A and B are shown apart, each in its own frame.
Chain A
Amino acid sequence: LSSVSLGAGAGQDVGRSCILVSIAGKNVMLDCGMHMGYNDDRRFPDFSYITQNGRLTDFLDCVIISHFHLDHCGALPYFSEMVGYDGPIYMTHPTKAICPILLEDYRKITVDKKGETNFFTSQMIKDCMKKVVAVHLHQTVQVDEELEIKAYYAGHVLGAAMFQIKVGCESVVYTGDYNMTPDRHLGAAWIDKCRPDLLISESTYATTIRDSKRCRERDFLKKVHETVERGGKVLIPVFALGRAQELCILLETFWERMNLKAPIYFSTGLTEKANHYYKLFITWTNQKIRKTFVQRNMFEFKHIKAFDRAYADNPGPMVVFATPGMLHAGQSLQIFRKWAGNEKNMVIMPGYCVQGTVGHKILSGQRKLEMEGRQILEVKMQVEYMSFSAHADAKGIMQLIRQAEPRNVLLVHGEAKKMEFLKQKIEQEFHVNCYMPANGETTTIFTNPSIPVDISLGLLKRETAIGLLPDAKKPKLMHGTLIMKDNSFRLVSSEQALKELGLTEHQLRFTCRVHIQDPRKEHETGLRVYNHLKAILKDYSVQHLPDGSITVESILIQATAHSEDQGTKVLLVSWTYQDEELGSYLTSLLKKGLPQSTA
């Protein structure tokens, strides 16, 4: 009856989320990310997919950003200011607060450090943010008459949300990145049983089922501790917001407990600010932090100090959190270059690295890196990977599908091979269709929505009253007339339909003469007929009226003497067309005569 079609900007690849959903005539763009592995045109999604000609504003009804990571919002100023879009952009309050800062940070690295032109400006970021409408969790936002969106908590990072997009009876849920297990600072993603027609889920960790959180944490602490003990330096490349805070809380408590002295640094500026955001948006963190924040705000750290570039050359052990997380630019890359040559040092990658980044290269075992200017950097330091990034693993994805009960599932934001595996698993377990489109591919999903109509209360009450009496569970047939007028559908009782349309009812009545042999008086015959019918038709209301006639439901039976033959009585059986079956049945029954034994 109608369809949901979908064009993905980042299908089987992590790094550039941008999905276009058309649902019941409405076009919604989900996320507007950029690819951090590229430095050329490929880093932004190709918006010509959306519409070849015509303005984006006319084509798109709204844009939704799930969270502030650049692979989900990095192309937003490019999209809204350089390509041109003036419609509404929806995101949660924390995302709205943090997103411009990350964008500005990213802009600085690309433009100021790399000297790129043809990139968005600070002013563009500001203008872009003016188009943003902030939403609350669970708030139902009416984008227009028909289109409504609703945000659910997603866990992944501060302010991350899943969005339900609904037009009439059709709905799509887009998860963005989410995390089904609560961590040290954020809660778990949650959605109600909203039964969307389509669930678009990320699948970064499609095949991984991670070991228990506690093990990973212990592992992490052990490695950091060992390195520091032997005098090495630990570099932890992180994104300013999210994992960084969790690991800070972890290290802070560990340092406190073990009474360690080695300094912990956090690369400057952004991070202090970031912690401040956490303090102000504490309602978005997990239960425990929220409960205790009045006594002790978890984001005020005692052991963790701001980092200065000069510290990198300091002798002795230290732990440094530096941005960005994939070692593709900025401070983390600078420090990495300085420390890479010493085997005592260690770099811990706590999150996923996009293909093409230095982070991805060293994780895949590359030890000789070609840096800018044909320089070769030999990596002697230890490289560790610890999955702390808060994506749902296979178990989590399955859990979410169980929660939401979608009719179709579409996987994005993952690697093709892993997605294939997960797809099979989903189809096996839930018996729903599962899709995994490639970049730029369009998937069309047919939905089969029920049609809502208005039913007159009188009719409904009448029907439910009947339905409830004998056996509530037994399905009950109901009858009525559907009036279709100017796109409105109303179900009313047939009588009311006639009345409303000014039509008069045409009564069709039948009267049958049934001759039976009975020498008795008329009223005695009547009584016999009554007793006879009463005995047979137990489920019907059979009544003997004072004037000698008999009714069965609304069928009238009268016994009169035959004008010529007194021994023959004529039974006049009269019914309307509505009682056709019963009337016809009665005549054939009476035709067989009355039982002799009675009376």
Chain B
Amino acid sequence: YCLSGHPTLPCNVLKFKSTTIMLDCGLDMTSTLNFLPLPLVQSPRLSKLPGWVLKDGSTFLDKELKECSGHVFVDSVPEFCLPETELLDLSTVDVILISNYHCMMALPYITEYTGFTGTVYATEPTVQIGRLLMEELVNSIERVPKAQSASMWKNKEVQRLLPAPLKDAVEVSMWRKCYTMPEVNAALSKIQMVGYSQKIELFGAVQVTPLSSGYALGSSNWIIQSHYEKVSYVSGSSLLTTHPQPMDQASLKNSDVLILTGLTQIPTANPDGMVGEFCSNLAMTVRNGGNVLVPCYPSGVIYDLLECLYQYIDSAGLSNVPFYFISPVANSSLEFSQIFAEWLCHNKQTKVYLPEPPFPHAELIQTNKLKHYPSIHGDFSNDFKQPCVVFTGHPSLRFGDVVHFMELWGKSSLNTVIFTEPDFSYLDALAPYQPLAMKCVYCPIDTRLNFIQVSKLLKEVQPLHVVCPEQYTQPPPTQSHRTDLMIDCQPAPMSYRRAEVLTLPYKRRYEKIEIMPELADSLVPLEIKPGISLATVSAVLHTKDNKHVLQLPPKPPQAPGGKKRKRVSDDVPEGKPPKPLLSGSIPVEQFVQTLEKHGFSDVKVEDTAKGHIVLLQEAETLIQLEEDSTHIICDNDEPLRVKLRDLVLKFLQKF
């Protein structure tokens, strides 16, 4: 089941054996681009924007929709596009597996509104940093209370009349406002923290294991396996060496199905080159006396940027330029990054052994080069010196402290805004700020797998089937000639799209079962062919927690003395092992000899097309012997029949 149309912010549900597993819980925030920014301080420019007027002149929407440089925006609290909730009953989801902190932003919507009662699994850094991201989101939206919330434009009839991006927006009626902090806490309390390579049993039926994916602190790929089937879920992985632990590829081998999501969103940009460009643009602006604004998330790439700058500033002569990191969670984010030594790459781990803080931003803070503030209010306004570099959120430029800096610095061409986060189109992000004098540089840094790395990875791990979002099976729409920008593998990947259900191509054949030692002792193996033995097993099957155990059958209770033929059910055989299957064939001559040995004197053999008929004239008994069947026809003489039966059985093998 695919519940999200966004390939990097997936939300899929996998039904495997008897469990229902949700893979990631990404929240598509691009919907916020259709809304006007939320300014921290009253912005005269934004409040003076003209209302949008329909072609026929009607103005009933002018309170809700505002126009800015030819784009129409909704003047309301920003809303998010949720994963599909109608496709299946989300209360039946048993577990949610989270692969990294960007892919859990929709968690409160799922756990708090759908009747979800299961458990969420994520690594410790994912939980902690995910909490920070959510906190920042909630904080930046809640502190700017907006009186009105627009809903009229969502009317299908009205939406049809709207100009481009709004007209085509999907499922607008499903868009939801941001959750609240209590909801975040409730959602996070349902998470159970796990470590890499930890094997987690789900109901005894399925085992799930997180593996390092190399993309972010605590980011993981998941392996979902039973004894015979293995599904790998690869989401947001990176082969580049940045700060997190490198990706574990070896464990992905021998998968029946590999689900591939979260590839790079900027397949054409090389992250290393982008970092270089970032530094040089930053240096140039500052040297010219301008300010640099970096809209970013409070965790992730910012650690790498700070580390690069740490090495770069001295050589570029920028050691006196203050760096500000403004976010309600700035301090926590920087502190948390230092304590997750076990989740870091080898180099950083070695530092901890010394012991030194793994990230150099500790030193930047100590030397006062980097300062962090919860918001632009308070201490920051006293310390604020220009020119400077400001890191702040949110990358969509719709809420958070970044809105303030855009308004403040937008008018001067000395200043630069550098986009590093790839999640939002920078042109769309800037749209409500037009016209803009400020320089804009786009240096998207996306360390996730690109298509070349994917084909290498797939060659390496050799999954039987690949499943991926449909976006990855065709070149990007803007560069349709780039056929190298798609997944290429044999057999061709199976693709899915939002609100689609896909049946995965594997068939289960075997299951593990345990045989108790007592039972094992009682088995009598029979060697059929060299190296192959058979044993008939009759045992009691115990099934508990999806684990199966075979035990010795209980001793049959002693038959009550004095056989009473009246009660039929006493005699009707029940629960006794059925007679085994027979195999082999009966050689006529030996059989006849045996019969004679046992006192049948008048044995007569007739040949037929398929075999022989043995006649016992005296007993009016006929035995048909064929290659693989024997038929005994006799009068109702039980002792005789039993005797014949046993003779025949001597020649056959039982199973």
Contact = CB atoms under 8 A, between A and B. Distances in A.
A487 to B, nearest CB: 10
B636 to A, nearest CB: 5
Contacts of B335: 293-294
A453 B537 CA distance: 12
Contact of A577 (B194, B579, B585): B579
Interface stretch (A346-354, A415-423, A443-451): A443-451
B194 A588 contact: no
A78 B569 CA distance: 76
Nearest to A99: B353
B147 interface: no
A283 B341 CA distance: 9
Nearest to B571: A585
Given A140-B197, A504-B583, A512-B641, A494 B542 contact: no
B336 interface: yes
Contacts, number: 261
B636 A478 contact: no
Interface in A191-224: none
A440 to B, nearest CB: 32
A74 to B, nearest CB: 19
Given A448-B517, A464-B543, A539 B630 contact: no
A93 interface: yes
Contacts of B576: 581
A97 B336 CA distance: 19
Contact of A280 (B338, B572, B655): B338
B539 A97 contact: no
Contact of A281 (B341, B533, B582, B629): B341
A169 B513 CA distance: 12
Contact of A482 (B227, B535, B577): B535
Interface string B312-342: 0000000000000000000110011011111
A562 interface: no
A481 B636 contact: no
Given A475-B554, A512-B635, A585-B573, A498 B655 contact: yes
Contacts of A454: 227-228, 510-513
B550 interface: yes
A312 interface: no
A514 B342 CA distance: 82
Contact of B636 (A293, A451, A591): A591
Contact of A513 (B349, B525, B582, B634): B634
Interface in A229-255: none
Contacts of B636: 512-515, 587, 591
- Which among B338, B353, B571, B586 has the greatest number of chain A C-beta atoms within 10 A? B353
Interface in B552-591: 553-554, 568-569, 571-586
A354 B533 CA distance: 58
Nearest to B585: A506
Contacts of A580: 579, 645
B573 A582 contact: yes
Main secondary structure of the interface of A (DSSP, over half): mixed
A283 B513 contact: no
A138 interface: yes
A539 B573 CA distance: 11
A277 interface: yes
B371 interface: no
Contact of B631 (A283, A457, A509, A587): A509
B195 to A, nearest CB: 4
Nearest to B568: A536
B336 to A, nearest CB: 7
B531 A485 contact: yes
A209 to B, nearest CB: 32
Nearest to B251: A142
Contact of B548 (A93, A273, A455): A455
Given A137-B195, A475-B554, A507-B629, A484 B525 contact: yes
B542 to A, nearest CB: 7
B242 to A, nearest CB: 20
Contact of A484 (B357, B534, B653): B534
A515 to B, nearest CB: 7
B529 interface: yes
B490 interface: no
Nearest to A454: B510
A277 B355 contact: yes
Contacts of B569: 539
B597 interface: no
A561 B531 CA distance: 54
A283 B542 CA distance: 41
Contacts of A138: 194-195, 198
Contacts of B631: 508-511
A591 B572 CA distance: 16
A293 B585 CA distance: 80
A503 B583 contact: yes
A475 B514 contact: no
Contacts of A93: 341-342, 349, 352
B648 interface: yes
B97 to A, nearest CB: 16
B606 to A, nearest CB: 17
Contacts of B533: 483-485
A456 interface: yes
Contacts of B227: 454
A136 B336 contact: no
B513 A508 contact: no
A495 B655 CA distance: 9
Interface string B275-315: 00000000000000000000000000000000000000000
B508 A457 contact: yes
Contacts of B196: 136, 139
B582 A506 contact: yes
A97 B652 contact: no
Contacts of B536: 479-482, 494
Interface string B331-370: 1100110111110000001001101011000000000000
Given A138-B198, A450-B514, A479-B578, A508 B629 contact: yes
Interface in A74-109: 93, 96-97, 100
A144 interface: no
Interface string A135-159: 0111111000000000000000000
B583 A483 contact: no
A454 B510 CA distance: 6
A501 B515 contact: no
A319 interface: no
A452 interface: yes
Contacts of B554: 475
A142 to B, nearest CB: 8
Interface in A539-566: 539-540
Contacts of A276: 355
A141 B199 CA distance: 10
A182 interface: no
B534 A460 contact: no
Nearest to B648: A508
A281 B525 contact: no
B238 to A, nearest CB: 20
23 contacts: A136-B195, A136-B198, A280-B339, A293-B339, A451-B515, A454-B511, A455-B510, A455-B512, A475-B554, A477-B538, A477-B541, A478-B537, A481-B534, A483-B534, A484-B535, A498-B655, A503-B584, A508-B629, A509-B631, A513-B635, A514-B636, A580-B579, A591-B636
Given A293-B339, A475-B554, 14 more contacts: A136-B196, A136-B198, A141-B197, A451-B515, A456-B509, A476-B541, A477-B541, A481-B537, A501-B528, A508-B629, A511-B632, A512-B641, A577-B582, A577-B645
Interface of A: 1, 93, 96-97, 100, 134, 136-141, 169, 273, 276-277, 279-283, 293-294, 448-457, 460, 463-464, 467, 475-486, 490-491, 494-495, 497-498, 501, 503-515, 536-537, 539-540, 577-582, 584-585, 587-588, 591
7 shortest interchain CB distances as A-B pairs: A507-B629, A450-B514, A136-B195, A581-B573, A138-B198, A455-B513, A139-B197
